[in-house]
C-alpha cells in the first residue's frame, strides 16, 4: 500500500484559483483503479495551504495516477499559483 501527503501553498490572492484546480481532480482520482483514499483539506488558520491525504493499493496504481490527464493537467496549470514547490511525503503504515 502507498500512503502519502501532498502539501500545496498558494501565493497570496491565488487561493481560489488553486482551490479550483485541486478540487477538480478529486472525483476523477477517486474513480481510478487502485485509489483507496484521496482527501483534500484546507488549513483552518491559513487558507493558502492545502493538503491531500492519499492511499493507493500499490506502486503501479500510484504511478498510473501520476500519468492520468487530470493529474498532468493540474501540474501544468500550477505555474504562477504556488508560493513554493509542493511537498510530497511518503509514509509507512504502523500496525499496532
Which pLDDT band, with edges at 50, 70 and 90, does 95 fall under? Answer: confident
**pTM for the full predicted model:** 0.93
For residue 38, give every residue at least 6 positions away whose Cβ sits within 8 Å of its Cβ, in sequence order, or none: 26, 29, 30, 52, 53, 54, 55
Domain ranges, ordered by start, for the chain: 2-91
What average pLDDT does the structure give for the chain? Answer: 97
Neighbour tally for 86: CB within 10 Å = 13
Alpha helices in 51-96 (DSSP H): 59-67, 69-76
Which pLDDT band, with edges at 50, 70 and 90, does 60 fall under? Answer: very high
Residue 96 has pLDDT above 90, yes or no: no
Note the CATH number of domain 2-91.
Answer: 3.30.70.100
Amino acid at each position: 500500500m502507498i500512503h502519502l501527503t501532498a502539501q500545496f501553498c498558494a501565493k497570496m490572492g491565488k487561493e481560489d484559483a488553486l482551490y479550483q484546480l485541486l478540487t477538480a481532480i478529486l472525483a476523477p482520482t477517486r474513480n481510478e483503479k487502485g485509489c483507496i483514499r484521496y482527501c483534500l483539506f484546507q488549513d483552518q488558520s491559513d487558507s493558502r495551504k492545502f493538503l491531500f491525504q492519499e492511499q493507493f493499493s500499490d506502486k503501479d496504481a500510484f504511478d498510473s495516477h501520476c500519468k492520468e490527464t487530470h493529474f498532468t493537467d493540474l501540474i501544468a496549470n500550477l505555474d504562477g499559483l504556488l508560493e513554493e514547490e509542493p511537498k510530497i511525503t511518503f509514509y509507512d503504515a504502523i500496525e499496532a
